Amino acid sequence: MPNDVFIKNFGSEANYQQELDGHAFLAEYTDRIPKIISTKFEPGNFAITYEQVIGPGVQMVSDAINTHEDVDLSALLTDMATVTRDHAGTRQAGGGTRLFYLDRLPRLDTPDIRVIHKGLMQNGILPRIDNSQESLRGSLLDDVAAQVSTFNIGLCVPSLGDFHERNVFTNGILVDFEGAGWNHVATDVATFIWHTLFVGNYLGPKYAKWSVDKDKDWLRTTPPQLYVTDGVVHLEISAGRRKLLKDYLRLYFNPIAGGMVSDKDVLFAMAFRLLTVFPVNEMSNDDQRIVFAISNFLTRGGLSLREALRSFDEDLEAGFRI
């Protein structure tokens, strides 16, 4: 087998079929996906082998960023913006919106997260964001659930559904098609920003099931990038991730933003993912406070995406300039 192939294994027939369906869907809109070389369909052993993913000097974007390699996704982001503008339409939200948002709504109403929320309410002050002190809202979880519920019907675009630094290679080839489909445009934007700001730096390597030894070793040898000192949440993203996010805002978000995507939807979707992707009950006390503080901040009302990003990193404002 050539060493430039990418093999994905699946634990169930349903996930295997979702991948095939998502790949077929996205193939209608872009050629930035690898061709399928072979499939394996055996009881308990499902796999798809793709070609043209890894080659000389090519690596997963997250790995390149973590080793301080330069990453240029400008051509991919420009192509994605064109697909979004050309094919945006009102469809029932499916794909990644269904898998990663709508199907996870019940997680906001579990005893674990409700107990943590109640405890933080009783304990009082959360760490501040950008020196702005606000009390944790008792309605936070319900507010987020109500907003995410509206993603069921809305402006959707053909997309990968789970586009972020771990699902694209430095040559601009996309992988992981389980969430591909007509996805709510705000969930696409939120997924990328959420992953770049929080997961790639900290929460992912600490709590994600997909974390491998390489991720955990990197976290152990890298200064914390999401932490609390003196009662304030600090986010220190690397230069590589800052560039990646600014490129995304300039080349993808800006061209599609006019009337297409709501800042409120994006901010609530980011908060929703913070509260539901990783088990909050398994987090350290500090991480629980960080997750709730950021979620409370993003959904407080009257906040634009630009203001939110500037609160975490002033340099990101430049990403909104074309």
Give me the sign of the Cα torsion angle 144, 150, 152, 155: negative
Helix (H, G, I), strand (E, B) or coil at 193: helix
CA distance 64 to 301: 36
Task: Give the DSSP letter of residue 6.
Answer: E
Q: What's the full length of the chain, in residues?
A: 322
Q: If you count DSSP H runs as helices and E runs as strands, how many of each does the chain have, helices first?
A: 14, 9
Full set of structural domains in the chain with CATH: 59-320 (3.90.1200)
Average pLDDT for runs of 10 along the chain of length 322? 75 91 96 93 88 82 90 97 94 93 97 96 86 86 97 94 95 94 97 94 88 85 87 91 96 92 97 96 94 96 93 88 62
pLDDT at 2: 54
User: Is residue 17 packed enough to be buried (19+ CB in 10 Å), middle (13-18) or exposed (0-12)?
Assistant: middle
pLDDT at 198: 93
* Residue-wise burial string across 183-194, b where 16 or more C-beta atoms lie within 10 A, e elsewhere: bbbbbbbbbbbb
What DSSP string runs through 226-260? EEEETTEEEE---HHHHHHHHHHIIIIIHHHHTTT
